[in-house]
Amino acid sequence: MQPRKVFLSVLLIIVLILSPTTLTLAADSTLTEVRSLLEGGYVDPVPDEVLNAATVEQMLDRLGDPHTMYFNAQEYQDFINSMDNRFSGIGIHIDIVPEGVLILSVIGGSPAESAGLKAGDIIVQGAGRSLAGLGAEEAVSILRGPEGSQVDLQVKRGTVTLHYTVTRKNIEEPTVQGELVDGHIGYIELNSFGSTTAADFGAVLNNLRAQNADSWIVDVRDNPGGYLSAAIDLAGYLIGRETVVNIKYRNNESETYQATDHGSALNQPVFFLTNENSASASEILSAAVKDHQKAVLIGTGTYGKGTVQSMFPLSDGGVLKMTVARFYSPLGKEINHVGVAPDLNLISAVNAKEVAELLITSMSNSDGFLRYTLGTKTYNISLAQVRSEKYWQAWGSVLDSLENPGLLQIGGAQGWSTVAAHELEARWLLYYPGYHELNALTDIPLDKKFTVHFRGHINWKTVNTESIELIESASGQRVPVEFEPLGDSDVKVVPTESLQPGVSYLLVIHPEIEDSNGVKMQEGALAVANTAK
């Protein structure tokens, strides 16, 4: 599966492809045609100041709608191809950073891979132009180009500057990708809503069903949208033949769209992943599953693009993409400039997939030590899982989002107690409840060696990297350590690599350690250790 990414394309929108005869064009002049289309079909009445502009460019600039634009023939074809993840370029997934274009991942078999570009590289120049400070659309236009053409790149890799000449080629990626996670979770990533997305989703869904998937994660993070028809068709797999979206036009006319009937809809747990780049058709689908209570949404609020565009061919061979309507959720909720709010609103959606996996696993855990309430559902969280490196940050994301400590309880088969505010603040208590807190260590040197004293003789066979751990408290990463016995009751814990400045660590002593008579410790212990900055 690909990591999270921003595709090499401008923000896509919902498109209703209309017939060229939908509106009668007033004249052959492109300016007159665009004026007539705006006057007769734009979602809101258009002021004379806009309509009387001297050029199409000036007219659209005065209109101030970033989703209404003019395409020449090639730009229009590129736009249509982008919805199906087809483009001619170097083959990378990107994010925009102040220095230029950050490569998040390199597409397998692409020109970028052949040239030696890597994830983490920052392209600072392309075709002799600085990419610093450019928006995604302008940066993409520099990196893309006709198949067979070349682009010279200046790339920053750490402290080294490298130069590449990359030959562009046509690249096509699937808009739907899926995999089985942990032997039973069907993970489906939707990258856009293209012409075959709904059918491809059905095929991936059936393939994962055949592998006995019993719960689902649908990922629309960074999905910029696409065809309305694709969202309506795909929604049927999730909500059945229910209302997907309500669309309202300029003349107050409205249309309600029902999802395509695929014979049955998923009746197993579904989690949707969203972020601030989930736009348009992604928002329609997310709002539909939320309104119909068919999925739990996890991540951050969506983009908030609640308008519909149609395509109008022009006599010069170009196309006007024009906003003609606004759309609303099945329950009539506003989406434009508002977005769709997740049920679990994380500060960042980076760990949303792991959060969903954590909640899915908890549903089969009847005696967990942490009970988390989200809406009308409760989840019994496994301590072993949240302590693992894979889920450490995901659990931290949940705790960061927890405004009400009362939504979290500590306990198990013997009963439950509500988490207090100080327990939530002292984060480690919700990874290691019941452990005894030792004196905190501050401003420790980066070559610190820790001495642990036990009351009584210990069985050295029980001292190992599972019974005593040094953990970076933010990431959960384990620091490799070695142990040096100091008599019968003391041990020196020696990190085998330097600690990092200004970082908080947890020295955790688990109750699995035994004394010389084979008796285990009554409780675990933990010390917070902060390095000097």
Residue range 175-199, pLDDT digits in tens: 999 999 999 999 999 999 999 999 9
Mapping DSSP to helix (H, G, I), strand (E, B) and coil, where does residue 85 land?
Answer: coil
Q: How far apart are CA 333 and CA 278, in angstroms?
A: 17
Percent residues over pLDDT 70 in the chain: 94
DSSP annotation of 226 reads: B
The structural domains of the chain, ordered by start, are 86-172 (2.30.42.10), 176-313+324-345 (3.90.226.10), 365-430 (no CATH), 436-531 (2.60.40.1220)
Encode pLDDT of 287-319 as tens digits: 999 999 999 999 999 999 999 999 999 999 999
Residue 391 pLDDT level (bands cut at 50, 70, 90): very high
pLDDT in tens, 365-378: 766 689 999 999 99
Rounded (10°) CA dihedral 337, 243, 275, 471 = 140
Q: Would you state the pLDDT for residue 16?
A: 47
Single-letter amino acid, residue 157:
R
The residue type at 153: L
Q: Are 505 and 481 in contact (CB under 8 A)?
A: no
- The Cα-based distances of 477 to 82, 234, 298, 392, 498 in angstroms read 39, 39, 24, 9, 14
pLDDT band at 25 (very low <50, low <70, confident <90, very high): very low
pLDDT bucket at 201, cuts 50 / 70 / 90: very high
Phi-psi region of 412 (alpha: psi -120 to 50; beta: other; left: phi over 0): left
Asked if 421 contacts 405 with a C-beta cutoff of 8 angstroms, the reply is yes
Q: Which residue has the tokens 């921003």?
A: 6
pLDDT of residue 17: 39
pLDDT score, position 368: 66
Q: Are 49 and 58 in contact (CB under 8 A)?
A: no
pLDDT for residue 405 is more than 90: no
Dist. CA 217–CA 349, nearest whole Å: 14
CB 144 within 8 A of CB 87: yes
- Catalytically annotated residues: 280, 291, 305
Cβ count near 441 (within 10 Å): 15
Q: What is the DSSP letter of 376?
A: T
pLDDT at 21: 35
pLDDT higher than 70, residue 397: yes
CA dihedral 280, 286, 290, 293 (to 10 degrees): 140
Amino acid at 355: V
Band (18; pLDDT cuts 50, 70, 90): very low
The vertex-506 CA angle with 503 and 507, nearest 5°, equals: 130
348 close to 68: Cβ distance less than 8 angstroms: no
Instruction: With cut-offs at 50, 70 and 90, classify the pLDDT of residue 141.
Output: confident
What mean pLDDT is predicted for residues 20-31?
Answer: 52
CA atoms of 470 and 466, how far apart (whole Å) = 10
User: What residues contact 89, with CB distance under 8 A and at least 6 apart?
Assistant: 8, 140, 143, 144, 145, 168, 171
Beta-bridge partner residues of 380 = 371
The whole-angstrom separation of Cα 190 and Cα 285 is 11
Q: What pLDDT was estimated at residue 252?
A: 85
Of 218, 204, 169, 7, whose CA–CA distance to 95 is shortest? Answer: 7
Q: What is the mean pLDDT of residues 15-38?
A: 62
Q: Can you give the pTM of this predicted structure?
A: 0.86
pLDDT tens for 43-76 read: 999 999 999 999 999 999 999 999 999 999 988 9
The owner of tokens 């087809």 is 86
Q: Would the pLDDT of 39 be above 60?
A: yes
For the chain, what is the mean pLDDT? 91
Report the alpha-carbon distance of residue 196 to residue 215 in Å, rounded: 24
Closest to 380 measured CA to CA, from 398, 395, 365: 365
Secondary structure letter of residue 462 according to DSSP: G
**pLDDT tens readout for residues 416-473:** 889 988 888 888 989 999 899 999 999 999 999 999 999 999 999 999 999 999 999 9
Q: How far is CA 454 from CA 438, 488, 525, in A?
A: 12, 9, 11
Residue 367 pLDDT: 64
The H or E element that residue 172 is part of is strand 169-172
β-pair type (370-374, 377-381): antiparallel
User: What would the pLDDT profile of 317-350 be if each residue is shown by its tens digit?
Assistant: 999 999 999 999 999 999 999 999 999 999 999 9
Percent of the chain with pLDDT strictly greater than 90: 79
Which of these ranges, 3-12, 405-414, 438-447, has the smallest mean pLDDT?
A: 3-12
- C-alpha–C-alpha distance, residues 416 and 88, integer Å: 58
